[in-house]
Amino acid sequence: MNRSGATRLIAACMMVIAVGSTPVSAALYTTFNFNTDQEGNIAPLSVTVLVEEIVEGDLKFTVEIVDGSITGDLRAIYFHFHEMLLSGGGLEATGTYVTDQKYGANAVIKLGGGTGVESLEKFDVGIEFGTPGMSSNDLQLVTFELSHVNDLINLNFSTFFDMSEEGIMAIRITSVGVDGGSREDSLKLVNSGEITVFPIGNGAVPEPASIIAWSVVGLGLISANYLRRRKVA
């Protein structure tokens, strides 16, 4: 093999490796678990928050009380967010039960009545659900979408927050008690446990082993083609 042929072969192989290592765009989701209170004690009920990237460039939140015997009224969610998006404003939460929202870097700790998390740290985002008391609305499941008023700004996990940390999200619940009985307690829950991000559907990002395998296949095909042309010549 002469030098020019070797150079072309190496360049072609590098192109195959580059194409193989290009990540496939895939919407992601993660689940936050809440089963400890502000003092680290095991709470009488558990809450999950599912966060999904959706095609419009927004983030969809599904907040749900998952225990059956003990229930409560979901009143608010708090979390940290990327400060570059906070400083410029434009974030907006929309949903059937969203009644108030506040944004500010390490500045949000309370919205309407029965929503405060004063014993916890201050958060960047606070979103209130429903109204005080369970007579008008008693919420165990709430969904809302977080978007930016600028359509050119897509919200995704890279613009969200550091999901490797615990305590970056909090839930405020009132009217806590046995379903059908007296419900006079309240809770301030913080997320706990490992947080893992998964691809939605079949758009999984290729693993490094797959990238290497495809690169080797490409190398073999290019080499075989080069040798075949040498024989013909």
What is the identity of the amino acid at 194?
E
Interatomic CA distance for residues 213 and 233, integer angstroms? 31
Tell me, yes or no, whether 55 and 84 share the same domain: yes
Task: Decide if 19 is inside a domain.
Answer: no
C-alpha angle with apex 22: 19 to 23, nearest 5 degrees?
145
Domain presence at residue 16: no
Residue recorded with tokens 């008690």: 177
pLDDT value at residue 110: 92
Answer with the residue of higher pLDDT: 55 or 213: 55
Q: Say whether 231 sits in a helix, a strand or coil.
A: helix
> What Cα–Cα distance (Å) separates residue 156 from each residue in 55, 61, 175, 195, 203?
10, 12, 33, 16, 15
> In the structure encoding, which two tokens stand for residue 199, read together?
């691809």
Verify that 210 and 134 share a domain, yes or no. no
Please tell me whether residues 61 and 36 are part of one structural domain.
yes
Residues 111 and 193 in one domain: yes
Residue 5 located in a structural domain: no
Q: Provide mean pLDDT across the span 67-95.
A: 86
Answer yes or no: is 122 within a domain. yes
Q: Are residues 106 and 191 in the same domain?
A: yes
Place of tokens 């998952």: 66
Are 172 and 45 in contact, with CB atoms under 8 Å apart? no
Mean pLDDT of 21-29: 55
**pLDDT, tens digit (0-9, with 9 covering 90-100), for 53-72:** 887 789 999 999 987 688 99
38 within domain boundaries? yes
Position 100 confidence tier, pLDDT thresholds 50, 70, 90: very high
pLDDT at 64: 93
Write down the pTM of the prediction.
Answer: 0.72
Q: How much is the pLDDT for 165?
A: 56
Identify the residue with better confidence: 31 or 17. Answer: 31
* pLDDT value at residue 94: 95
pLDDT tens digits for 135-174? 778 899 999 999 988 888 888 877 676 555 556 889 999 9
Side-chain-facing half-sphere of 230: CA atoms under 13 Å? 11
How many independent structural domains does the chain possess? 2
Whether residues 162 and 210 fall in one domain = no
Over the chain, what is the mean pLDDT?
Answer: 74
**Structural domain of 226:** 206-233
Residue 77: the pLDDT is: 95
Identify whether 182 is part of a domain: yes
**pLDDT recorded at residue 26:** 59
